[in-house]
C-alpha cells in the first residue's frame, strides 16, 4: 500500500529515493534541497508552477542531468556513481514520457515503439511486431502503426510516447506534463491510461504536472514545489485541505 | 590560425585602437584585450569541446553493439543521394578547366598538354576539394539541421533515456558514413570531370577519348591519384564531426536550429580548406612526385 507520509530511509526495494537534492543553472537555483520517495505501485504527483524545476527533477532522476549536491537512488543505487553501462542498465528499467512525446520523426509510429525493443531485447522481427501492436492497442493507436509522427495529432503523439515508454515493462515510469496542451477529453483519456497502468504494471510512477484534475484522477500522493522547495508532501486530501495560502491559490486558479 | 588572425583584426577595428582619444593607450589596450581575448577564449573552448566530442564519438564507434543498419542508411543518405550533385559539380569543373586552360596553353604553344593539365588538375586538387565543399554544403547542413531539431524537441534526450547512446546511434554512424563516402564521391566526381573535360576539348578541337586519356594519363601514377582521393576521408571526418557537434549542442528552439545549420556549413567548409593546406603539404612530403 502506498504510504501517505514520506519515508526517506534507504531501502534497496524503494524504486526512487531522492535526498537533499540541489540543482542550479548558472546563478539560477532550480531545486533547493528536495527529499522525496516513491514506493512500488505508487503514483506520486509533483505539482507546481511553471519554472519550479519539475521537469528538471525528472531529468535528474533518469540521469539526463547531474545533481549539484544530494543523491538520487534508484533501487538502492546512487545513479551519480554509476558507470555509463550501469546507468544504461538502470534506464532500461525506467520509462519516460516527454512533454511533447519526443517521437523520433524519421521513424514510423511502429518503429518508434519498437526502437527500445530492437536494441535491448532478443525478440525476433515477428515477435517485436506483435509486441508493438500490443503496446499500441493499449493506448488505442493500433491502427496508426505505419504513420509518421507528423501525420498524427499532439495527443496521439503523447499516447505513442506512452506506448514507447512502456515497451520494456519499466519498474519506474516518469511522466512529464502528460496532459499539458491537450483538450479535456484527450487529457482525461491519458489520465485514465496512467491510472490503468498502475493497476496493470505495479510500477512506481512520478507524474509532473500543473493539472489538478490529473492529480485527482491518478495520484496516490502529492508533492507541491515552490521556488525549488517542497511545500507539501501528503495525500491528495492533504493537498485539498491545506491552509497554505500559496496552495489554496494554486488550487483555486487551477480548478 | 587564419580565423584567429581575422578575429584580432576585427577586435582591433571594434576596439577603436587606431585613434585613442587623449592618448589613453592603457584604456585602448584594455578595450583591445577585451575585444581580442574573449573571441579567442571562445574559440579555444569550442576546439576543446569539439575534441572531447570527437573522443566520445570515437569510443562509441568502436564499442559494441555496432549500428550497421543505421550506418548503411546514413551511407545511402550521405553518399548515394549526393551523387547527382557531385557528378554535376565534377562535370562543370571539367568543362571550365578545359575552356580556361585551352586558351592559356594555346598562348604558349602547349595545346598538346591540355589532356594532362585537365587530368592532373582534377585528380590532384580540384576534384577532391570541390567534392568536399559541395558535399559539405549539402550534408553538413542536413546533419546540423536534423540533429539540431532532434535536440530542441528532446528526441536526443528520449534516446538517451531509452538507454541508447546518441553518440553511437546518431553521431558515430554519420561521421563514419562521411569518412567512407567522401573518397568514393571524389572518384566519381573525378571521372565526370575528366569525361566532360574531354567533351569540351573535343568540341573545340576533335580528339578521340582514347587519345585524350592516353595523353593525359601518361605519367600519372597511383601516387598522383590515391593520396589526394583518400585525403577526402579526412574532409569527411571534419564535416561529419563538426556538423554532429554543432547539431547536438543546439540550444534556443528553431532559431538555434538555424544557427546550428549555418555554423555546421561555415565551420566545416573553413576547416576543410585549412586541413587541405596541411594535407597537401603532407602528401608532398610523404608521396613525392
Q: Which residue's C-alpha cell is 493507436?
A: A141
pTM of the complete model: 0.84
Tell me if residue B208 falls in helix, strand or coil.
Answer: coil
A residues 144..203 contacting B (CB < 8 A): 161, 164
| Domain boundary residue, one of B63, B80, B96 | B63
B261/chain A closest Cα distance in angstroms: 18
Chain B residues whose beta carbon lies within 8 Å of the beta carbon of residue A91: 160-163
Cα–Cα distance for residue pair B146/B140, rounded to 1 Å: 10
| Cβ–Cβ contact A51 with B under 8 A | no
| Cβ–Cβ contact A119 with B under 8 A | yes
B205/chain A closest Cα distance in angstroms: 51
Residues B80 and B208 in one domain: yes
Q: Which residue's C-alpha cell is 565543399?
A: B133
Chosen for mutation from A58, A116, A162 (greatest number of chain B CBs closer than 10 Å) is A116
Non-local (6+) Cβ contacts of B5 within 8 A are: none
The reply to whether residue A115 touches residue B155, judged by beta carbons under 8 angstroms, is no
- What is the DSSP secondary structure assignment for residue B168, as one 8-state letter? I
The reply to whether residue A94 touches residue B161, judged by beta carbons under 8 angstroms, is yes
Residues B54 and B77 in one domain: no
| Cβ–Cβ contact B158 with A under 8 A | yes
ipTM: 0.87
B168/chain A closest Cα distance in angstroms: 12
Residues in chain B, pLDDT under 70: 1-23, 289
At A25, give phi and psi (nearest 5°). -120, 105
Chosen for mutation from A98, A112, A172 (greatest number of chain B CBs closer than 10 Å) is A98
Cα–Cα distance for residue pair B14/B37, rounded to 1 Å: 13
- Per DSSP bridges, beta strands A28-38 and A16-25 are antiparallel
Alpha helices in chain B (DSSP H): 2-15, 25-62, 68-78, 83-107, 114-121, 127-135, 141-152, 155-161, 166, 173-204, 209-217, 222-230, 232-248, 253-286
Cα–Cα distance for residue pair B156/B150, rounded to 1 Å: 6
Nearest CB to B154 within list A92, A102, A120: A102
Residues B40 and B87 in one domain: no
pLDDT in the model for residue A246: 83
Residues B124 and B14 in one domain: no
The reply to whether residue A99 touches residue B154, judged by beta carbons under 8 angstroms, is yes
At B268, give phi and psi (nearest 5°). -70, -40
Chain B residues whose beta carbon lies within 8 Å of the beta carbon of residue A85: none
Residues B225 and B200 in one domain: yes
Distances (CA, A) of A166 to A97, A127, A135, A180: 9, 16, 8, 20
Cα–Cα distance for residue pair A196/A176, rounded to 1 Å: 18
User: Is A150 buried (19+), middle (13-18) or exposed (0-12) by CB count in 10 A?
Assistant: exposed
Tell me if residue A205 falls in helix, strand or coil.
Answer: strand
A104/chain B closest Cα distance in angstroms: 6
Residues B186 and B53 in one domain: no
How many CB atoms lie under 10 A from the CB of residue B49?
A: 12
Residues B36 and B154 in one domain: no
Residues B186 and B282 in one domain: yes
| Domain boundary residue, one of B63, B85, B100 | B63
| Cβ–Cβ contact A116 with B under 8 A | yes
A residues 72..101 contacting B (CB < 8 A): 84, 88-89, 91-92, 94, 96, 98-100
Residues B25 and B97 in one domain: no
Chain A residues whose beta carbon lies within 8 Å of the beta carbon of residue B149: 105
What strands, in cross-sheet order, belong to the sheet with A16-25?
A28-38, A16-25, A69-74, A77-78
The reply to whether residue A91 touches residue B162, judged by beta carbons under 8 angstroms, is yes
- Per DSSP bridges, beta strands A229-234 and A221-226 are antiparallel
Chosen for mutation from B161, B168, B174 (greatest number of chain A CBs closer than 10 Å) is B161
Cα–Cα distance for residue pair B225/B233, rounded to 1 Å: 14
- Closest-CA residue of chain B to A164: B162
Q: What is the mean pLDDT of chain B?
A: 88
How many CB atoms lie under 10 A from the CB of residue B271?
A: 19
Distances (CA, A) of B226 to B186, B190, B219, B222, B268: 11, 12, 14, 6, 23
Residue B197 cell numbers, joined: 573535360
Q: Which fold has domain A16-93+170-254?
A: Rossmann fold (3.40.50)
Q: Which residue's C-alpha cell is 493537498?
A: A239
Peptide bond into B65 cis (omega under 30): yes
A50 in the Ramachandran plot: left (φ > 0), alpha (ψ -120 to 50) or beta?
beta
The reply to whether residue A91 touches residue B155, judged by beta carbons under 8 angstroms, is no
Residues B152 and B223 in one domain: yes
Q: Which residue's C-alpha cell is 578521340?
A: B208
pLDDT in the model for residue A167: 92
Cα separation of the two ends of chain A: 28
Cα–Cα distance for residue pair A203/A171, rounded to 1 Å: 5
Give the pLDDT confidence of B53-87 residue by residue, as tens digits.
Answer: 999 999 999 988 888 999 999 999 999 999 999 99
| Domain boundary residue, one of B25, B41, B63 | B63
How many CB atoms lie under 10 A from the CB of residue A75?
A: 18
Quote the domain boundaries for residue B21. Answer: 1-63
pLDDT in the model for residue A160: 92
Residues B19 and B93 in one domain: no
Nearest CB to B154 within list A88, A100, A164: A100
Report whether A5 contacts A55 (CB < 8 A): no
Q: Which residue's C-alpha cell is 589526394?
A: B228
Cα–Cα distance for residue pair B238/B140, rounded to 1 Å: 10
- Per DSSP bridges, beta strands A43-47 and A204-209 are parallel
Number of domains in chain B: 2
C-beta contacts of A82-88 below 8 A and 24+ residues apart: A84/B165, A87/A63, A88/B163, A88/B165
Non-local (6+) Cβ contacts of A56 within 8 A are: A23, A30, A31, A65
Nearest CB to A98 within list B154, B163, B165: B154
- Closest-CA residue of chain A to B152: A102
Nearest CB to A104 within list B65, B155, B161: B155
Residue B275 cell numbers, joined: 586541413
Cα–Cα distance for residue pair A174/A182, rounded to 1 Å: 18
Cα–Cα distance for residue pair A235/A242, rounded to 1 Å: 11
- Closest-CA residue of chain B to A167: B162
- Closest-CA residue of chain A to B154: A102
Q: What residue spans define the domains of chain A?
A: 16-93+170-254, 103-166
B278/chain A closest Cα distance in angstroms: 37
Residues B236 and B127 in one domain: yes
A101/chain B closest Cα distance in angstroms: 9
A173/chain B closest Cα distance in angstroms: 11
- Give the side-chain half-sphere CA count within 13 A for B238: 25
Residues in chain A, pLDDT under 50: 1-10
Q: Which residue's C-alpha cell is 572531447?
A: B52
Residue A1 cell numbers, joined: 500500500
Amino acid at each position: 500500500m502506498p504510504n501517505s507520509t514520506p519515508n526517506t530511509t534507504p531501502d534497496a526495494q524503494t524504486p526512487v529515493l531522492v535526498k537533499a537534492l540541489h540543482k542550479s543553472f548558472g546563478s539560477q537555483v532550480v531545486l533547493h534541497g528536495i527529499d522525496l520517495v516513491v514506493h512500488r505501485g505508487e503514483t506520486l504527483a509533483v505539482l507546481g508552477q511553471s519554472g519550479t524545476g519539475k521537469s528538471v527533477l525528472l531529468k535528474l532522476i533518469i540521469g539526463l542531468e547531474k545533481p549539484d549536491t544530494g543523491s538520487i537512488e534508484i533501487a538502492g543505487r546512487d545513479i551519480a556513481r554509476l558507470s555509463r553501462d550501469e546507468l544504461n542498465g538502470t534506464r532500461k528499467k525506467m520509462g519516460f514520457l516527454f512533454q511533447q512525446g519526443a517521437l523520433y520523426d524519421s521513424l514510423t509510429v511502429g518503429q518508434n515503439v519498437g526502437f527500445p525493443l530492437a536494441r535491448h531485447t532478443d525478440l525476433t522481427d515477428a515477435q517485436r511486431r506483435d509486441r508493438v501492436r500490443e503496446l499500441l492497442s493499449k493506448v488505442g493507436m493500433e491502427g496508426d502503426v505505419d504513420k509518421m509522427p507528423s501525420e498524427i495529432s499532439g495527443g496521439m503523439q503523447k499516447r505513442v510516447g506512452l506506448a514507447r515508454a512502456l515497451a520494456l515493462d519499466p519498474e519506474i515510469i516518469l511522466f512529464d506534463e502528460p496532459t499539458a496542451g491537450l483538450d479535456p477529453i484527450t487529457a482525461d483519456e491519458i489520465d485514465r491510461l496512467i491510472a490503468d497502468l498502475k493497476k496493470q504494471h505495479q510500477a512506481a510512477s512520478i507524474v509532473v504536472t500543473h493539472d489538478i484534475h490529473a492529480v485527482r484522477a491518478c495520484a496516490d500522493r502529492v508533492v507541491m514545489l515552490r521556488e525549488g522547495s517542497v511545500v507539501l508532501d501528503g495525500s491528495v486530501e492533504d493537498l485539498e485541505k491545506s491552509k497554505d495560502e500559496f496552495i489554496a491559490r494554486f488550487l483555486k486558479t487551477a480548478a | 590560425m587564419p580565423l584567429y588572425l581575422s578575429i584580432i583584426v576585427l577586435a582591433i577595428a571594434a576596439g577603436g585602437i587606431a585613434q585613442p582619444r587623449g592618448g589613453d593607450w592603457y584604456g585602448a589596450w584594455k578595450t583591445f584585450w577585451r575585444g581580442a581575448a574573449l573571441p579567442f577564449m571562445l574559440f579555444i573552448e569550442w576546439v576543446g569541446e569539439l575534441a572531447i566530442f570527437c573522443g566520445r564519438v570515437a569510443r562509441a564507434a568502436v564499442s559494441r553493439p555496432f549500428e550497421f543498419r543505421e550506418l548503411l542508411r546514413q551511407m545511402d543518405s550521405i553518399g548515394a543521394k549526393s551523387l547527382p550533385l557531385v557528378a554535376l559539380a565534377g562535370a562543370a569543373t571539367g568543362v571550365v578547366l578545359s575552356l580556361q586552360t585551352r586558351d592559356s596553353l594555346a598562348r604558349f604553344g602547349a595545346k598538346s598538354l591540355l589532356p594532362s593539365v585537365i587530368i592532373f588538375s582534377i585528380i590532384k586538387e580540384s576534384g577532391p576539394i570541390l567534392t568536399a565543399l559541395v558535399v559539405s554544403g549539402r550534408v553538413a547542413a542536413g546533419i546540423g539541421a536534423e540533429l539540431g531539431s532532434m535536440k530542441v524537441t528532446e528526441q536526443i534526450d528520449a534516446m538517451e533515456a531509452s538507454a541508447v547512446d546518441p553518440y553511437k546511434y546518431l553521431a558515430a554512424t554519420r561521421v563514419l558514413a562521411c569518412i567512407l563516402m567522401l573518397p568514393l564521391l571524389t572518384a566519381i566526381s573525378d571521372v565526370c570531370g575528366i569525361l566532360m573535360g574531354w567533351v569540351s576539348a573535343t568540341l573545340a578541337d576533335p580528339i578521340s577519348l582514347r587519345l585524350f586519356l592516353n595523353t593525359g594519363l601518361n605519367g600519372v601514377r597511383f601516387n598522383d591519384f590515391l593520396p589526394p582521393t583518400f585525403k577526402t576521408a579526412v574532409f569527411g571526418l571534419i564535416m561529419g564531426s563538426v556538423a554532429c557537434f554543432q547539431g547536438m549542442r543546439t540550444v534556443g528552439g528553431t532559431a538555434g536550429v538555424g544557427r546550428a545549420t549555418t555554423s555546421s556549413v561555415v565551420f566545416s567548409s573553413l576547416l576543410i580548406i585549412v586541413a587541405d593546406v596541411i594535407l597537401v603539404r603532407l602528401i608532398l612530403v610523404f608521396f613525392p612526385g
